[in-house]
Amino acid sequence: MHRLLPLIAALALAACATTAPRPEHATPQIFQIEPVRPVAELLPIALAATPPVEQGEFRPADLVELATLDPTIKLDIRYATARNFLGTPLYSQARAFMQRPAAEAVMRVQRVLAKEGYGLLVHDAYRPWYVTKIFWDATPPDKHNFVADPATGSRHNRGCAVDLTLYTLHDGRAVEMPSLYDEMSERAYPTYTGGTDEQRRLRELLRRHMESEGFAVYEFEWWHFDYRDWKSYAIQNVRFETMGGGK
């Protein structure tokens, strides 16, 4: 347990410094819930837990950092800040990794979108398993469609899922979609028929280009895309601060 204390302390300090107000006072740009249990209580439990044992053969992990492949991809890693649905930092570093084939597919999407005046804004990619456990344990059961069950792991844990949206190249601003990122409502569904014509057009533009490179959208979240080879990779629980190249 003593090896986990530096990470717990770092995240606790970040939470104290940047924790966002609770849902009733949150800014309109961030969707938040009231956790079932405080994240500060769940963090040491999750760090001490063990990911599920998987059977079968898997490809060797080859997680690469998106920023090193294409610096024109913008990052807004919400879980490294308090600007997320739990209102407290979950990552110690704002970084985005994916298995190499998935990362290269994202790069191809970026190049095609640039011809139409857009770029990709990434909110999350590889996610250590312990964070998935925190999400599940902190989220009310009636909203579990929006978080992965740690008993089976998330495709984020395998380095084959990415949460993203679009930004406009001319001003660098994120576009407006039918819902907020991580919003736990029907507005987040990729089939939601509300919102404006322009919001739906941009949602479909993102989906069309991601699907053309082997990604599939998650049925409850327009921003979440799974790479076609996700079953080929095992669940990972490597923390960002142990991965090379970070600050």
pLDDT of residue 50: 96
What does the pLDDT read at residue 108?
A: 98
Where do the DSSP E strands lie in the chain?
A: 63-65, 74-75, 97-99, 118-124, 161-168, 215-218, 221-227
Alpha helices in 66-188 (DSSP H): 66-69, 100-114, 129-138
- What would be the CATH architecture of the domain defined by 2-242? 2-Layer Sandwich (3.30)
C-beta pairs of 212-218 under 8 Å, 24+ apart in sequence: 212/109, 212/112, 213/105, 213/106, 213/108, 213/109, 214/105, 215/105, 215/162, 217/190, 218/190
Q: What is the pLDDT of residue 244?
A: 75
If you ran DSSP here, which 8-state letter would residue 146 be given? G
The residues pairing with 166 across neighbouring beta strands, listed in sequence order, are 120
| Amino acid 241: pLDDT | 87
Residue type, 56: G
> Residues, the chain, total?
247
DSSP for residue 193: -
Q: What is the pLDDT of residue 180?
A: 97
The per-residue pLDDT for 18 is 38
Domain residue ranges of the chain, discontinuous segments joined by +: 2-242
Alpha-carbon gap, residue 98 to 84, rounded angstroms: 21
What are the CA-CA distances from residue 85 to residues 13, 19, 129, 147 (Å)? 19, 11, 18, 11
Type of residue at 196: T
Closest CA to 162 of 93, 104, 115: 104
Residues of the chain with pLDDT under 50: 1-2, 4-6, 8-10, 12-28
**DSSP character at residue 174:** B
CA–CA separation, 183 and 76 (whole Å): 16
Catalytically active residues, by annotation = 221
Q: In terms of Cα–Cα distance, which of 243, 239, 216 is closest to 51?
A: 239
Residue 94 CB neighbour total at 10 angstroms: 17
pLDDT for the residue 246: 59
Strand 161-168 and strand 118-124: the pairing is antiparallel
